[in-house]
Amino acid sequence: MTKPIGSDHLVPLYVYDEDERKQLIEEAEKLPSVEVSSAAAANAVMLGGGYFTPLKGYMNLADALGCAENMRMSDGSFFPVPILNLVDSVAELEGAERIALRDPNVVGNPVLAIQQVDAIEYVNDEQMVLMTEKVYRTTDSVHPGVAAFNGHGRYAVSGPIQVLNFSYFETEFPDTFRTAVEIREEIEQRGWKRVVAFQTRNPMHLAHEELCHMAMQRLDCDGLVIHMLLGKLKPGDIPADVRDNAIRTMVDLYFPENSAIVTGYGFDMLYAGPREAVLHAYFRQNMGASHFIIGRDHAGVGDYYGAFDAQTIFDEEVPDDALEIEIFRADHTAWSKKLNRVVMMNEAPDHSKEDFVLLSGTRVREMLSEGIAPPEEFSRPEVAKILIDYYQSLE
């Protein structure tokens, strides 16, 4: 199993000791508090679960700018994106040494974490533009990640945190949400040595399923961790509970026993393409994966990134000593009418576009909404049934 980044062991910031956590919850009610952004809340959940090891909390401005510029914090430590707590107003936080961070995604805004305030710094226009351009490769406000990042506020509150709960993720997704600590433990219990991780924010169709089988076979892996994003998505994306049901059904029916586990993590999608791919690899190493699948337009949106930018960034920008996890570079996969099976399109040079079963996302959504299952060369019928039920429930 791969070792955590920058540490001999995971550094989860969740307070596991029940007595200490109760004391901190009581303390939090007396502290100045701020309702954080959904992104900052998701950062707290990831820090709590050990995914962002060895970070101890939210970055200061110098570290955030360094991560944006060259993926290095001030002390030289590697991290691919800024991890910030940006707020609109700090009037009630002035002079506070410790503050309570309230959850924007749970009714009543309960305390999610306690933060030690090391610094409160104003992020100016030039600094926001630099971070936006470096992380998202665009400043276009239509880009959902850019819009979210620039809408959080301009005051960066930095300092270590103590996480008191995992927001709505462990209550709404009790069978799926797992911390990096828990996934490492399960990998060890299953006796897996070589593990490949698959990232998804969508249901998995036949091509995704076969891509995972290909990766496992070619990498000689013992197991697969299907690791789905459970946090905030852009409008129109399929909700996490529907994806969860569809993916679990696929794994139960079409994967050998003890070959795959379905898990999820509490984070909001950045849609940052190449940089987000590096972040995805970062926390997959921390959860114990030895390999990570990156396909076409990984974590992308619209036409902001080239098809393989999320792969080439590992050659061109990620420092050689930064990551131990290895990348499995995938092309688009589809059913070959010639070969009667799913193939990577770049491995079928004698094929034309007409030799593949290809459906656009728009066409698939139209079919599902009309109660029509895509062909079995595209989607498992059991998965299609779940998605048809979802789309028809929207009418």
So what's the pLDDT on residue 182? 98
The angle that helices 361-369 and 381-393 make with each other, rounded to 10 degrees, is 70
Q: Which is the catalytic residue, given 72, 201, 329, 365?
A: 201
So what's the pLDDT on residue 234? 76
So what's the pLDDT on residue 314? 98
Q: Which one-letter amino acid corresponds to residue 277?
A: A
Classify domain 18-170 at the CATH topology level.
Sulfate adenylyltransferase (3.10.400)
Residue 201 annotated as catalytic = yes
pLDDT in tens for each of the 395 residues of the chain?
899 999 999 999 999 999 999 999 999 999 999 999 999 999 999 999 999 999 999 999 999 999 999 999 999 999 999 999 999 999 999 899 999 999 999 999 999 999 999 999 999 999 999 999 999 999 999 999 999 999 999 999 999 999 999 999 999 999 999 999 999 999 999 999 999 999 998 899 999 999 999 999 999 999 999 999 998 877 778 888 899 999 999 999 999 999 999 999 999 999 999 999 999 999 999 999 999 999 999 999 999 999 999 999 999 999 999 999 999 999 999 999 999 999 999 999 999 999 999 998 889 999 999 999 999 999 999 999 999 999 999 87
Number of DSSP helices (H) and strands (E) in the chain, helices first: 13, 15
Strand partners, 327: 292
How many CB atoms are located within 10 Å of the residue 282 CB?
23
Domain 175-393, CATH homologous superfamily name and number: HUPs (3.40.50.620)
So what's the pLDDT on residue 240? 86
pTM confidence score:
0.95
Q: Which is the catalytic residue, given 72, 109, 154, 202?
A: 202
So what's the pLDDT on residue 238? 87
Residue 245 annotated as catalytic = no
**What are the sequence ranges of the domains in the chain?**
18-170, 175-393
CA atoms of 181 and 11, how far apart (whole Å): 9
The answer to whether residues 120 and 86 touch, using CB atoms and an 8 Å cutoff, is no
Strand spans (E) along the chain: 33-35, 57-58, 86-87, 98-102, 111-116, 119-122, 155-163, 195-200, 223-229, 260-265, 291-294, 326-329, 333-336, 341-344, 356-357
Residue 374, class by beta-carbon neighbours within 10 Å (0-12 exposed, 13-18 middle, 19+ buried)? buried
- Reference 123, options 203, 65, 195; nearest CA is 65
